[in-house]
Chain A
Amino acid sequence: MNTRRLATLAALALAAGSTLSSRCLALVDAWEFEVYPYNTLSRGMAEFETDNSFVSSGHELGGDGLSNGTVPSRRTWYNSYEVTYGLTDRIEAALYLNMAEPASGGLRWAGDNLRLRGRLFDEETLPVNLGWYLELEWHKTPQFDDAVRELEFRPIIEKDFGRLALMVNPKFEKVLAGAGHDQGVEFGYDAAVHYRWTRRLSPGLEFYGGTGLIDQADPGTSQQHYIFPTVWGEFPGGLEYNFGVGYGLTRGSDRVVFKFNVELEGFVGAIIKKASSDRGWFF
């Protein structure tokens, strides 16, 4: 066996090994095109939210674009329901129900998430407002993901420049069970620039993407990056909305994605009676 043939076989073996151990990276979450701000719900407040996205033009094979499982993303409606509750004035908890209706039809269960999110210190204490986000995810495999359970952590960074808010959520995700559990940490990002024009209608620009594993980034064309021009605001009666059209910027991204999120909040009663201290930083 000559050297060239040996090298070819070694390359094929490496590629096969890499394929077997890798997974469809879930850095862009089709169920939640939302960038988190620094603010959290006040103690005793509850919020009901439904987030929706629809891939009008995208990949036809499972595992490509926004699909992390065997169901292709093209013409799939991703639909989630989220209930959030303000535990303290700085920490909120949320439960998600994720559903999906693929092009083949039939709305079905795709997974659940359990999330804690908090803000550190009071606003204007630090040069930028900081928060944190910790989420445990369960997925319906293999249809909607190839990982059974994942843990996600995001620092939340927000800076207001007058009526312009800049929000950045770097995302770090680790598979706990299922395909990819032996791999490292994946990196992605959600970011937004929102201009506070009027309470009823304001413009924004949002960015979502992922680069792959921290220690082994995907090739640029395989990564997913999206830009969403959005409008957001509040209807009379307090129903808040965020609507946008997303454009994939790489070959690995789906081409066009619509998103429509609505939420309604109200006071339901505090289980922790003591208000958070103005001098506190975590609780």
Chain B
Amino acid sequence: MEIHFADGHFVPEKLSVQAGSPFVIKVVNLSSERIEFESFKLNREKVVEPGKTILVKVPALRPGTYDFFDDFNEKVPEGSIVAQ
């Protein structure tokens, strides 16, 4: 499962995962800016340097929608992880 950050956006902005199974998100920062990949509902927060990749481990989720955003820039559109 991969999310890219480029041109001030996360791609994809909506990610579908299977509820009840743990998973790992690979966050690739393709931009020249430093970002902080954060999900309030998932309790995850990690800085991603320009050109770098991080792994975010997520436990099995209940069905629902979980946010993610760049905590360094409020103008970046918020994305969502939909567990179903």
A residues apposed to B, CB below 8 Å: 39, 42-45, 89, 122-125, 160, 162-163, 165, 196, 198-199, 236, 238, 266-267, 275, 278
Min CB–CB distance A128 → chain B (angstroms): 12
Q: A39-B45, A42-B46 are in contact. Are A199 and B40 (CB under 8 A)?
A: yes
Closest 7 CB pairs of A and B: A42-B47, A124-B57, A199-B40, A123-B57, A278-B55, A196-B41, A160-B43
Min CB–CB distance A219 → chain B (angstroms): 39
Interface of A is mostly: loop
Residue of B nearest to A199 (CB): B40
B6 within 8 A of A: no
Residues of B within 8 A of A236 (CB): 74
Contact B52 A123 (CB under 8 A): no
Total cross-chain contacts (CB, 8 A): 41
B22 within 8 A of A: yes
Q: Please tell me which one of the listed residues B22, B36, B62 contacts residue A124 in the complex, with CB atoms under 8 A apart.
A: B22
How many B residues touch the partner, as a band? 20 to 34
Residues of B within 8 A of A278 (CB): 55
Interface residues of B in 25-84 (CB under 8 A from A): 34, 36, 40-41, 43-47, 49, 52, 55, 57-59, 61-62, 67, 71-72, 74
Contact B49 A275 (CB under 8 A): yes
Contact B34 A267 (CB under 8 A): yes
Residue of B nearest to A42 (CB): B47
Contact A160 B59 (CB under 8 A): yes
Q: A238-B71, A267-B72, A275-B49 are in contact. Are A123 and B44 (CB under 8 A)?
A: yes
Residues of B within 8 A of A238 (CB): 71
Contact B58 A124 (CB under 8 A): yes
Q: A236-B74, A278-B55 are in contact. Are A165 and B47 (CB under 8 A)?
A: no
A192 to B7, CA, bound (A): 39
Contact A162 B62 (CB under 8 A): yes
Residues of B within 8 A of A199 (CB): 40, 67
Contact B58 A275 (CB under 8 A): no
Residues of A within 8 A of B67 (CB): 199
Q: A123-B57, A124-B22 are in contact. Are A43 and B47 (CB under 8 A)?
A: yes
Residues of B within 8 A of A123 (CB): 44, 57
Q: A42-B36, A124-B58, A238-B71 are in contact. Are A163 and B47 (CB under 8 A)?
A: no
A140 to B57, CA, bound (A): 44
Residues of B within 8 A of A198 (CB): 40
Please give 15 more A-B residue pairs, beta carbons under 8 A apart, in addition to A39-B45, A42-B45, A43-B47: A42-B36, A42-B47, A122-B55, A123-B44, A123-B57, A124-B58, A124-B59, A125-B57, A162-B62, A196-B43, A198-B40, A236-B74, A238-B71, A267-B34, A267-B47
